[in-house]
Amino acid sequence: MAILKAIFGTIIIFQVLLFCIFTPRSSHISYLLIAMTTIGFTFWFYVKREVFSLKVNQRLLFLVEVAMLSALAFLLDLLSGVIGKLPQGGSISLGMIPVFIIAFRWGVKGGLLSGLLFGLLQAFLGSPYIIHPVQGFLDYYLAFTVIGLSGIFFKKIQTSLLDKKQKMAILYITLGTLLGGILRLTIHVLAGVFFFASLTPEGTPVLIYSIGYNASYMIPTIIVSAIVVSFLLITAPRLVTRK
């Protein structure tokens, strides 16, 4: 029964995502459906956590959680984007937080897959700023995927949380978010150097301009993500511990 529920929940998420692909981007109905489905399924999933932890195949559980939190990452990024975006793309966002949670729960494999799905959603359902296929690949697929490399700290984070060593947990969470955030920043900087050089003010080195532009939203995003993820995992360690 638990497996059927998991399959049903996964199907719902992907049906909503597929529906949104064929819905005009200007329509708020698609975003509302994603929000309702994600929030509802998230609540149901964690209420039934004991059932899942005992009976559901781990691979299926992995796929369900990655799909769920990737959709949540996209939602948070959409909501963050309401505040405003920079002219060539980029904004201070909460979207990386679910990717970090998946990475700290399942390790690098979960983080990479969640980051990739997040990037795909950004490219197809968001408001991407793409001027060249390679630039699009760098700014949306690769940049978001590398966030998942923060998962290299997942064992240390889980061990620290299980042993109730909060300071060590915060340290490793911060290191993980810094790693994922800086790797994403690096990809955006490279894309800027190769594809947005014409926008650089006269007399300013292209690399310096690209670093400054992308750091203006990525540094605050990294800081906010580190604070929020640390707070969430210290107060609710079961978000990432699977025991």
For 31, residues 6+ apart whose C-beta sits below 8 A from its C-beta are 20, 75, 78
pLDDT at 7: 47
| Range with the largest mean pLDDT of 31-35, 76-80, 83-87 | 76-80
- The model's confidence at residue 56, banded by pLDDT at 50, 70 and 90, is low
pLDDT digit string, tens, across residues 108-130? 999 999 999 999 988 888 777 88
pTM of the complete model: 0.78
pLDDT digit string, tens, across residues 146-190? 999 999 999 999 999 999 999 999 999 999 999 999 999 999 999
Report phi then psi at 127, rounded to 5: -120, 70
CATH number at 128 reads: 1.10.1760.20
Question: Domain of 104?
Answer: 2-239
pLDDT at 127: 76
Structural domain count of the chain:
1
Q: What is the DSSP letter of 141?
A: I
For 219, residues 6+ apart whose C-beta sits below 8 A from its C-beta are 185
Instruction: Return the higher-pLDDT residue of 115 and 7.
Output: 115
CA-based max dimension of the chain: 66
| Average pLDDT over all residues of the chain | 80
Give mean pLDDT, residues 54-73. Answer: 81
User: Cβ(102)–Cβ(111) under 8 Å?
Assistant: yes
